[in-house]
């Protein structure tokens, strides 16, 4: 356990000094600041006003940015470290491979999740100060959703890093994964369905298997509980899970996917050449 | 103590190690030499449990891959190329000392002996240090613990002659309790440090020989050079070895060099052979 925390701490310190982290923090902090500056809390959409409106917008933007950011930065730094000889040296020290791999994940998770969460927390604190009502249920669920989103894509990123031997390959693979997930979002699936190429059940299964779509649907469900904007697929989702059930699924499935990906990555890492 | 048993390693279709079998005992100081691509670094990585391979490697009967912490806790490693770590020097020392179960002050003490002012660079990123400073720090981390095996890849390549002398002294202090494997692509860099030479080529051991180790690691050699004429470039090279002129015309130069460095020193002098009228080396 001590080795794991040492490795996690090491990864946190390395990340805090990396340029990607500074940009990452600036992006999410900047989004919240801009949303306040442009008076989003004053505008009303679908009955949302105040901080709810800001949180809805923030999570939509986060869903667009966080996955690709986490994927690319994770594979870049892990595969880059391997290529540059960091692994050769640090893994010559007496640290177990499990402590090293999972320690890196823990450290990276903290670094990835903290700016996203702190930006949202900052918004809540500011809202409290200026007297805007805070929707705590929404804040809690969005926090859980962001935590799971970070876990999911970090796990996938670590799996790609274990498989790819070079930074270029790892980056290319990460981008492809993100692109595939993006292509299988509901709008494109809908287009495919309209053309009559695939069965509706298959399209909905694909949508439910796509973590990006799962997050998107879960975020939508908070301000559109009947999922009217999704069209007919909403019937399947709500019949299958129910509104509360889907909220749980949207947290459990991506978390499991991230954990399984990380575990697969760990076994591949342990089995192969380390540097 | 260290056993390589028919070790073979293939990258895609290239066979980098081809059935290496070696037995290295306690107290042996082995020079692992060979040209680039001979397989030295791959062999070291197999020893450190970083590569998978055919055959077996054991240190005190333990496989470095399946008993990582037990085996690597006894190995001090200095890589050829310092890793581009962004962490501050202080944290690297804390991290290494904590994993190796040693007191960070031992690392500090060795760094001080090597002439590294640690207090001034504790908060500086490791990657921002000069080549020599990085090398000194990595040597300090490797030697600042009770390692039974020291694996060093071109350890003194970036050190100035004074630091090399101290480095040899530090190695001399570990002669009785550590096995050393020193890798280099040039024998003259390490010849005086070792009592066994293993040469590799195309993934095979092509020479495995015991050598006389009459050269004391802590000894020094008194040097006198008489020049035909003054040459600034040569003067600068001699100054780097702390050999100074003793006359006004700067034709006679005297100084002391580390005993194990004599071959390396002669290599430098050989570049200016035409300028040398007389040269003498005498053990102090």
Q: What is the torsional sign of CA A88, A93, A96, A102?
A: negative
Contact A94 B100 (CB under 8 A): yes
Looking at the fold, whether B47 and B165 belong to one and the same domain comes out as: yes
Q: Which chain A residues are within 8 Å of B77, Cβ to Cβ?
A: 89, 92
Looking at the fold, whether B27 and B55 belong to one and the same domain comes out as: yes
Whether residue B21 lies inside any domain: the answer is yes
Q: Which chain A residues are within 8 Å of B83, Cβ to Cβ?
A: 84-86, 88-90
Contact A10 B68 (CB under 8 A): no
Residues, chain B, total?
284
Looking at the fold, whether B95 and B224 belong to one and the same domain comes out as: no
The band of B15, judged by pLDDT with boundaries at 50, 70 and 90, is very high
* Predicted model pTM: 0.82
Q: Mutate which of B44, B99, B155 to disrupt the A interface (most A C-beta within 10 Å)?
A: B99
Predicted pLDDT of residue A198: 74
The domain boundary, picked from B178, B210, B242, lies at B210
Looking at the fold, whether B129 and B262 belong to one and the same domain comes out as: no
Whether residue B256 lies inside any domain: the answer is yes
Q: Domain count of chain B?
A: 2
Quick check: B65 contacting A, CB < 8 Å? no
* Model confidence pLDDT, tens digit, residues B169-194: 888 888 778 899 998 877 776 777 78
Contact assessment for residue B168 and residue B238, using Cβ atoms and an 8 Å cutoff: no
Predicted pLDDT of residue A165: 80
Predicted pLDDT of residue B240: 85
The band of A206, judged by pLDDT with boundaries at 50, 70 and 90, is confident
Contact A275 B50 (CB under 8 A): yes
Name the helix (H) or strand (E) containing B262. Answer: helix B262-270
Looking at the fold, whether B67 and B192 belong to one and the same domain comes out as: yes
Q: Which chain A residues are within 8 Å of B79, Cβ to Cβ?
A: 85, 88-89, 92
The domain boundary, picked from B187, B210, B233, lies at B210
Looking at the fold, whether B206 and B224 belong to one and the same domain comes out as: no
Q: Which chain A residues are within 8 Å of B87, Cβ to Cβ?
A: 10, 13-14, 17
Q: Mutate which of A11, A80, A95 to disrupt the B interface (most B C-beta within 10 Å)?
A: A95
Looking at the fold, whether B118 and B224 belong to one and the same domain comes out as: no
Quick check: B72 contacting A, CB < 8 Å? yes
Tell me the residue range of the domain where B235 lies.
Answer: 220-283
Looking at the fold, whether B159 and B20 belong to one and the same domain comes out as: yes
Looking at the fold, whether B154 and B33 belong to one and the same domain comes out as: yes
Q: Which chain B residues are within 8 Å of A2, Cβ to Cβ?
A: 98
Three-state SS string over chain A comes to: CHHHHHHHHHHHHHHHCCHHHHHHHHHHHHHHHHHHHCCHHHCCECCECCHHHHHHHHHHHHHHHHHHHHHHHHHHHHHHHHHHCHHHHHCCCCCCHHHHHHHHHHHHHHHHHHHHHHHHHHHHHHHHHHCCCCCHHHHHHHHHHHHHHHHHHHHHHHHHHHHCCCHHHHHHHHHHHHHHHHHCCHHHHHHHHHCCCCCHHHHHHHHHHCHHHHHHHHHHHHHCCCCHHHCCHHHHHHHHHCHHHHHHHHHHHHHHHHHHHHHHHHHHHHHCCCC
Q: Which residues of A touch B (CB under 8 A)?
A: 2-3, 6, 9-10, 13-14, 17-18, 84-97, 271-275
Distance CA A159, CA A264 (A): 7
* Model confidence pLDDT, tens digit, residues A218-265: 887 777 777 766 666 667 777 778 878 888 999 999 999 999 999 999
Looking at the fold, whether B163 and B69 belong to one and the same domain comes out as: yes
Quick check: B87 contacting A, CB < 8 Å? yes
Looking at the fold, whether B141 and B61 belong to one and the same domain comes out as: yes
Q: Which chain B residues are within 8 Å of A12, Cβ to Cβ?
A: none
What integer best gives the mean pLDDT of chain A? Answer: 84
Contact A92 B85 (CB under 8 A): no
Give strand pairing partners of B253: B225, B245
Q: At residue B141, does pLDDT exceed 90?
A: yes
Helix residue ranges per DSSP H, B35-177: 40-47, 68-72, 89-100, 104-113, 118-121, 131-143, 161-173
Distance CA A5, CA A103 (A): 6
Whether residue B13 lies inside any domain: the answer is yes
Nearest to B79 among A3, A85, A271 (CB): A85
Least confident segment among A39-53, B53-67, B252-266: A39-53
Contact A272 B91 (CB under 8 A): no
The domain boundary, picked from B147, B177, B210, lies at B210
CATH of the domain at B259: 3.30.70
Contact B51 A271 (CB under 8 A): no
Contact B83 A84 (CB under 8 A): yes
Contact assessment for residue A56 and residue A222, using Cβ atoms and an 8 Å cutoff: yes
Residues, chain A, total?
275
The B residues from 117 to 176 touching A (CB cutoff 8 Å) are: 125, 138, 151
Looking at the fold, whether B175 and B268 belong to one and the same domain comes out as: no
For residues B61-83, average pLDDT: 91
């Amino acid at each position: 356990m001590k080795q794991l925390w040492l490795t996690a701490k090491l990864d946190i310190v390395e990340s805090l000094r990396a340029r990607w982290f500074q940009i990452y923090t600036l992006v999410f902090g900047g989004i919240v600041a801009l949303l306040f500056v442009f008076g989003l809390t004053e505008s009303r959409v679908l009955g949302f006003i105040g901080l709810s409106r800001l949180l809805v917008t923030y999570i939509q933007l986060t869903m667009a940015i966080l996955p690709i950011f986490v994927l690319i930065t994770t594979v870049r730094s892990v595969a880059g470290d391997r290529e540059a000889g960091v692994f050769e040296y640090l893994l010559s020290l007496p640290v177990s491979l499990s402590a090293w791999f999972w320690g890196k994940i823990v450290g990276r998770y903290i670094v990835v999740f903290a700016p996203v969460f702190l930006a949202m927390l900052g918004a809540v604190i500011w809202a409290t100060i200026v007297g805007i009502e805070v929707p705590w249920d929404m804040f809690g669920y969005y926090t859980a959703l962001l935590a799971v989103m970070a876990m999911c894509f970090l796990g996938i990123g670590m799996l790609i890093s274990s498989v790819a031997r070079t930074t270029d390959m790892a980056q290319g693979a990460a981008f492809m994964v993100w692109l595939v997930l993006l292509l299988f979002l509901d709008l494109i699936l809908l287009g495919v369905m309209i053309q009559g190429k695939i069965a509706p059940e298959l399209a909905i299964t694909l949508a439910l298997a796509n973590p990006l779509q799962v997050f998107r649907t879960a975020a939508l469900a908070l301000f559109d509980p009947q999922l009217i904007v999704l069209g007919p697929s909403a019937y399947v989702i709500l019949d299958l899970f129910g509104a509360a059930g889907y909220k749980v699924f949207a947290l459990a499935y991506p978390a499991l996917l991230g954990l399984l990906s990380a575990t697969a990555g760990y076994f591949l890492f342990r089995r192969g050449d380390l540097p | 103590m260290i056993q390589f048993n028919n070790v073979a390693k293939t990258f895609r279709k290239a066979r980098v190690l081809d059935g290496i079998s070696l037995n290295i005992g306690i107290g042996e100081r082995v020079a692992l030499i060979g040209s680039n691509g001979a397989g030295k670094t791959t062999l070291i990585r197999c020893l450190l449990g970083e590569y998978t391979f055919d055959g077996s490697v054991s240190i005190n009967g333990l496989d470095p891959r399946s008993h990582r912490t037990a085996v690597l806790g006894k190995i001090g490693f200095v890589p050829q190329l310092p890793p581009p770590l962004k962490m501050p020097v202080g944290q690297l020392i804390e991290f290494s000392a904590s994993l190796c179960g040693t007191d960070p002050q031992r690392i500090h003490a060795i760094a001080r002996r090597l002439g590294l002012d640690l207090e001034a660079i504790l908060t500086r990123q490791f990657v921002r240090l000069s080549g020599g400073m990085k090398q000194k720090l990595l040597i300090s981390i490797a030697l600042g613990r009770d390692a039974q095996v020291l694996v060093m890849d071109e350890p003194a390549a970036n050190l100035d002659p004074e630091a090399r002398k101290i480095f040899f002294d530090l190695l001399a202090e570990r002669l009785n309790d550590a096995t050393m494997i020193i890798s280099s692509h040039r024998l003259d860099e390490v010849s005086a440090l070792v009592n066994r030479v293993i040469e590799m080529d195309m993934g095979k051991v092509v020479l495995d020989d015991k050598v006389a180790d009459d050269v004391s690691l802590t000894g020094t050699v008194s040097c006198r050079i008489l020049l035909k004429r003054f040459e600034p470039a040569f003067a600068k090279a001699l100054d780097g070895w702390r050999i100074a002129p003793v006359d006004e015309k700067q034709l006679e130069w005297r100084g002391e060099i580390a005993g194990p460095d004599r071959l390396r020193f002669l290599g430098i002098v050989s570049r200016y052979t035409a300028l040398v009228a007389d040269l003498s080396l005498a053990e102090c």
